[in-house]
Structure 1
């Protein structure tokens, strides 16, 4: 039965690729931040869970067209009753929840695009995917800097090749290919460290996140869904 399921899945993938053409789709919207239902697809995290003093919130913004806001206070201070597991303070962000539709297959795309409004701080985009060898969630995280323009909306395109494999916040030297066919989650967080971030409040505007095939995407295409 397992062999039959794999055969049926591969046949379905082949038919879908045939419909999309040799280069696949030009782009695909993965996430929007227009409604409360959109925000419910995300979970937030910060060092406060282990006794740190950073805070995080994901809320709807004031834009008439509907956008989200990732905000809070950044701090590298550690509370007196911090958990012994808290070895590094100064982190906060959001990550997408598992989709009822299953894993994200972005094999046809070569970039992620974030339409965001920055506040002058450094942010990081992250990708988690299933391990190549075992059918389970990997603890590895692929990360890249997300340079958002301060005070204005802009599309930030990050090639998948720019994401670096990290493990517990450190870059892995070994060369490992990102498994774009089996992505479990996408995330956004503050870049940690006193060298990158001053203590204080932060606010990142969020409109949408999309996958893009730069080989066939037209620069003047309207990415935003009205």
Structure 2
């Protein structure tokens, strides 16, 4: 039974649920209470080395890190006297639009991470670089849906651009607050391929770490720029690529990352140019949530 379960529990990206972790944990009712193990590529030995052997000690980096974190702590303390996020309260209350990420220099690329199915043995390639005018970023590469020959992975072919997690002083978690806005605003120029926008928020339980809010980004192609506005009410909840039955609106008070994923099974080159990623408050949009909400244990 365990061998059958290990072969069948796979998701679209080729990342499999570990069967031994599912079988060893107690059976708990409910679709959102399953515990998943960390992904390990098929055929690779398990890393059983103790955690202290993975730490690299360096006195110079330690001093540099202390100076960096105390500088961030000083900015946080002084910023609270000015207002939320270091801005005056009046400016924060009247804010209607905000550019969260732009690409105006080489330092802006350090806020992003690119990945592909090469992590699981695939052949897709993805690169991130600044455009010739040094004011936009260009995500380009080649998509290949041929799965690796490891005997277990059945599906492959994806490329992802993901923002780095924001950290405050001493590597404390820092969240993005979008409660004053209701629409995601992007200025892009693509090649006609459909992308998936993934927004990750802070969760309350460890088994929800793979939860994401998704929606589609359709590019027109051609030489002209495209302004895209997507209301947050259109985003739906998924976990490990599976759309959940129990849907709820996105939690905008603790946003962690935003990502763009290409997995349309069309092998060949691709490119996506991004000018900025921001949010706005569209007063004409009054929808709270676009999908049906099911009530558990309804009253009789």
Contact 2:124 2:142 in 1 (8 A): yes
Taking a change above 3 Å as real, the CA distance of residues 136 and 60 of structure 1, as seen in their structure-2 partners, is: farther
Distance 1:57 1:187 in 2: 15
What residue is the counterpart of 1:88 in the other structure?
155
Confirm whether residue 108 of structure 1 aligns to residue 175 of structure 2: no
What residue is the counterpart of 2:141 in the other structure?
72
Distance 1:180 1:17 in 2: 21
Quick one: which of 279, 286, 296 aligns to 1:211? 279
Aligned length: 196
What residue is the counterpart of 1:139 in the other structure?
210
Taking a change above 3 Å as real, the CA distance of residues 214 and 135 of structure 1, as seen in their structure-2 partners, is: farther
Distance 2:210 2:88 in 1: 30
Contact 1:130 1:137 in 2 (8 A): no
Corresponding residue SS for 2:108: helix
Distance 2:104 2:122 in 1: 30
Q: Bigger relative contact order, structure 1 or 2, given CA contacts below 8 A and separation 6+?
A: 1
CA drift at 1:79: 2.7
Contact 1:112 1:211 in 2 (8 A): yes
Structure 1 residue ranges (4+ consecutive) displaced by more than 4 angstroms after TM superposition: 134-137
Confirm whether residue 53 of structure 1 aligns to residue 120 of structure 2: no
Distance 1:94 1:48 in 2: 14
The 5 A counterparts of 1:1-226 are 19=90, 24-62=94-132, 64=133, 66-81=135-150, 84=152, 86-101=153-168, 102-131=174-203, 133-134=204-205, 138-151=209-222, 152-190=224-262, 192-194=263-265, 198-215=266-283
Distance 2:97 2:179 in 1: 12
Taking a change above 3 Å as real, the CA distance of residues 120 and 21 of structure 1, as seen in their structure-2 partners, is: closer
Corresponding residue SS for 2:125: coil
Contact 1:96 1:187 in 2 (8 A): yes
CA drift at 1:124: 1.3
More helix by share: 2
Distance 1:29 1:193 in 2: 28
Contact 1:73 1:199 in 2 (8 A): yes
CA drift at 1:137: 7.6
Corresponding residue SS for 1:179: coil
User: Could you say which structure has the larger radius of gyration?
Assistant: 2
